[in-house]
C-alpha cells in the first residue's frame, strides 16, 4: 500500500515550479525539466538519465516521449504529452536551447553546465534541491520516485483509463497501477477533462 505522503500535493508542485521559474538561471531551467519528467510524465530516474534529445517528439501532432527501459529488458513505451501543455512547452523550449547550442538528436537531453550527461545520483540531488522550498521536514523523506507516484495518482484521479496509465508508466501489472487511485482528493484544474478529450484525437 502506498501512503499519501509519497504523493506531492498540487500546492507543493505549484510551489516548486513557481520557485524554479523565479530563479531565471540555467540550473533552474534544467531542474524544471527533471522535475516535470518525474512528476508530470512519471519517468523513472534511470529513464530520465538515458533520454536523448531525439527521444522527445514535440513537433508532431502526437507529441510524446519515447522511453527505453533497461529495467524492463529494453522495452520501449511512448509517454504522451497532450494532457500537460506546460510540460510540453517547457520541453520545446529546453530542446530548442540545446539545439541552438549545437546539440544533436543523438545527444543526451539533460547535461551539466559542462555538457556532461547527468547520471542518476545527480538527478536525485537536483530533484531534492528543486524541492528545497518545501522545507526540511518534507525533504527528509522526499525522493525523485515520489514524482512517479504523483503522476500515477493525478492521472487516475482525472479519469485516465487505468490501462492507459499502466502503459504510460510501464507497469508490468495493472494491479500496480490501480493502487494509486485512492491517494488524491483533488487535482489540478488544468488537468480536469483534458485526458479524455485529447485521448481520442491524439491516440
Q: pLDDT tens track of the chain, all 203 residues? A: 566 778 898 889 999 999 999 998 999 999 999 999 999 999 999 999 999 999 999 876 789 999 987 655 668 899 999 888 899 999 999 999 999 999 999 999 999 988 899 999 999 999 999 999 999 999 998 999 999 999 998 888 878 889 999 999 998 889 888 888 776 554 444 444 444 444 433 33
Q: Give the residue numbers spanning the domain of 164.
A: 4-202
Cell of 152: 500515477
Task: Tell me if residue 192 is catalytic.
Answer: no
- Residue tagged active-site, from 30, 36, 146, 148: 148
> Per the residue annotation, which of 30, 64, 146, 171 is the catalytic one?
171
d(CA 37, CA 111): 14
Domain count, the chain: 1
Catalytic residue among 30, 36, 44, 149: 44
- Of 44, 57, 47, 40, which is closest to residue 194 (Cα–Cα)? 40
The CATH number of whichever domain residue 34 belongs to comes to 1.10.443.10
Q: Is 145 one of the annotated active-site residues of the chain? A: yes
**Which of 70, 85, 104, 182 is flagged as catalytic?**
70
Q: pTM score, two decimals? A: 0.87
Q: Is 148 part of the annotated catalytic residue set?
A: yes
Amino acid at each position: 500500500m502506498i501512503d499519501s505522503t509519497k504523493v506531492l500535493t498540487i500546492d507543493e508542485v505549484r510551489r516548486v515550479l513557481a520557485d524554479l521559474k523565479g530563479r531565471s538561471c540555467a540550473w533552474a531551467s534544467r531542474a524544471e525539466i527533471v522535475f516535470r519528467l518525474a512528476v508530470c510524465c512519471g519517468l523513472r530516474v534511470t529513464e530520465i538519465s538515458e533520454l536523448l534529445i531525439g527521444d522527445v517528439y514535440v513537433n508532431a501532432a502526437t507529441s510524446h516521449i519515447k522511453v527505453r527501459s533497461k529495467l524492463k529488458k529494453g522495452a520501449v513505451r511512448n509517454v504522451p504529452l497532450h494532457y500537460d501543455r506546460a510540460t510540453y512547452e517547457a520541453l520545446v523550449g529546453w530542446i530548442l536551447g540545446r539545439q541552438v547550442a549545437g546539440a544533436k538528436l543523438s545527444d543526451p537531453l539533460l547535461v551539466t553546465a559542462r555538457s556532461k550527461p547527468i547520471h542518476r545520483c545527480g538527478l536525485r540531488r537536483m530533484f531534492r534541491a528543486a524541492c528545497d522550498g518545501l522545507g526540511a521536514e518534507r525533504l527528509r523523506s522526499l525522493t525523485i520516485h515520489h514524482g512517479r507516484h504523483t503522476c500515477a495518482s493525478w492521472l487516475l484521479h482525472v479519469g485516465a483509463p487505468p490501462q492507459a496509465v499502466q502503459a504510460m508508466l510501464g507497469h508490468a501489472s495493472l494491479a500496480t497501477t490501480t493502487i494509486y487511485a485512492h491517494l488524491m482528493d483533488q487535482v489540478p484544474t488544468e488537468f480536469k477533462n483534458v485526458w479524455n478529450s485529447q485521448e481520442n484525437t491524439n491516440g
